[in-house]
Amino acid sequence: MEVWGTLLPRVTAAAAVLMEARSGKVLYMKNGHLRRPPASTTKMMTGILAIEQGDLKEWVTISQKAARVGEASIHLTAGEKLRLEDLVKGALIRSGNDAAAAVAEHVGGSEEFFIYLMNKKARLLGAGNTLFQNPHGLPAQNHYASAYDLGLIARYALTNEVFASIVRTRETTIRGSWSRYLRNTNRLLWRYPWANGVKTGTTDAAGKCLVASATREGLTLIAVVLKSHDRYRDAETLLEYGFQNFDYYAIAKGSVWGTVKVANGKPSRVTAVALWNDVFILEKDRKKDLRFKVNIVSEVQAPLRKGENLGFLEVFKEEQRIGRIPLGAGEESRKLGLIERLRKLGEGLNDD
């Protein structure tokens, strides 16, 4: 099977996705919407919710319930106090199930309400094949996610610099009643030079799972592999496929695409700028195939607000339109007063 003349990669994973981080464009998919147990990749949602909803500097008292959560652990003890930030690190870096449970209890007020927040966030992100029953990913009935959904969650979470900084950390130390050394469970951070996240997961039901991110030459890719026989090789294979075969063209919010005259305005011309960021994924070395068509008004009346609509930019790849970006005023233009308009009229007469 080929895409754009390129042989697709082969991976051992039961389900896999390769996604470009900024646009969300899928570059490869294998059973991408299949619902599967996500194991500890669940903790991506736990971590981003804690960062967004909690105060990372707050002290958290560990409950007996959280301390008793088994399997992967940072060995919390009931009554011990740690900062929320360190518990998030324990969950994301060392994959501590006890840390994830403690985070959920503290941020949500109860684990049950935190799980409600997790599922609400998943729906907001468009993760329609995801349902969480706990904050750590231990096996539970009707606890599932798809490879595509995990890519969506990772894509969103990586836009938060606190989250991104934690998941790219190889080693660190946190402090509670005693100091704990944390070594990241994601071995890709050592074996793949461009890797910068995200989260491992392993249970008997889920198999070996990995959500991996990497950045090379400004392009960030997210690879998700679920129930893989070799998750690190599978992730590397997908990431290399993406970096070797795809490129991008970014249009930045605020970039200038023309000017428009403003009648009776000061200034008398304003720039027409892109109103949002956009990125277009292309086959390697095909940027030359892009064409741009600017559609803006020739003149508007003052007053004009900054950001007010002036038209749009169309992006074409050969003859196919692949994007449409609104253009707006890059600056405001106030309406000239009567005296200013008369003076301007006089200057125009003098020019004759």
Please say whether the beta carbons of 209 and 188 come within 8 A.
no
Active-site residue (options: 30, 89, 95, 199): 95
Active-site residue (options: 40, 146, 228, 333): 40
Angle, CA 334 vertex, CA 328 and CA 339 arms, to 5°: 150
Integer Cα distance of 102 and 319 in angstroms: 55
40 belongs to the catalytic site: yes
Report the number of secondary-structure helices (H) and strands (E) in the chain: 10, 21
Please say whether the beta carbons of 41 and 202 come within 8 A.
no
213 belongs to the catalytic site: no
Please say whether the beta carbons of 260 and 298 come within 8 A.
yes
Encoded tokens for 344: 């301007």
Integer Cα distance of 138 and 176 in angstroms: 24
Burial of 308 (0-12, 13-18, 19+ CB in 10 A): middle
253 belongs to the catalytic site: no
Amino acid present at 57: K
Active-site residue (options: 30, 43, 199, 208): 43
Helix (H) or strand (E) holding 316: strand 309-317
Annotated catalytic sites, by residue? 40, 43, 95
